[in-house]
Amino acid sequence: MAEKTELGLKVQDYMNKGELVPDELTIKVIEERLKEPDLKDGVILDGFPRTEVQAQELDEFLKEENKKIDIVLDLTSPEDEILDRIVNRRICSNQECKAVYNIKLNKPKVEGICDKCGSKLYQREDDTVEKVKNRIKIYEVQTKPLEDYYEKTGALYRITISQKINKMAKEAAEEVIEYLKKGEN
């Protein structure tokens, strides 16, 4: 999107509306990126696949490339915390920096200015309560079924991240690392 490619502009149009990008467009973007040489040793996908069709297409693509999925993380949080984090998210406008802040949890030192590079912070067009609630509804219908799909493959690993239980990203990452270490033995 930042490079204003034809694919990127199509993706941005859907995101700005708070809608999920259609499968065929998303798959095309992902497959193009996965063919790049800097990913030959592996990759972490965040937010893809979102539908069973995407998961099946990804599996087919990986099979053709003699690769596979090692682990699928199902990170869950209470809806009120999701809304609070996303609606209060701010991103550095400098494309080389892209630092992310939260005006409640991780404030910049100077309001609206990136601590790292001094560029202005912005809020994504789709980071509104209405659009986030719409994304959550779409998630429940289209993405939640992926839990069953990946549970059948044995790749699914569930973690709840929540301020209420005092388990945040750092603790979840440590848990995943321990889980992966056990799998190596």
Q: Say how many domains are in the chain.
A: 1
Can you give the pLDDT at residue 127? 94
Note whether residue 86 is domain-resident: no
pLDDT of res. 83: 95
- Distance between CA atoms of residues 27 and 103, nearest Å: 33
Q: Are 7 and 29 in contact (CB under 8 A)?
A: yes
Residue 65 lies in a domain: yes
Quickly list H helices, 17-71.
23-34, 52-64
Taking only the tens of pLDDT, the chain with its 185 residues reads 667 777 788 888 888 887 777 888 889 889 988 999 999 888 989 888 988 888 999 999 999 999 999 899 988 899 999 999 999 999 999 999 999 999 998 899 999 999 999 999 999 999 999 999 998 998 888 888 899 999 998 899 988 888 777 777 788 888 888 888 887 64
Write down the pLDDT at residue 182.
84
Angle at 43 between CA 59 and CA 76, to 5 degrees: 80
Assigned token pair, 163: 């301020």
Residue 114: predicted pLDDT: 98
Range of the domain at 9: 1-69
12 is a domain residue: yes
CA distance 24 to 8: 14
Q: Note the pLDDT of residue 10.
A: 85
Question: Which tokens is 154 given?
Answer: 């044995």
Could you tell me the two tokens for 173?
A: 């990452």
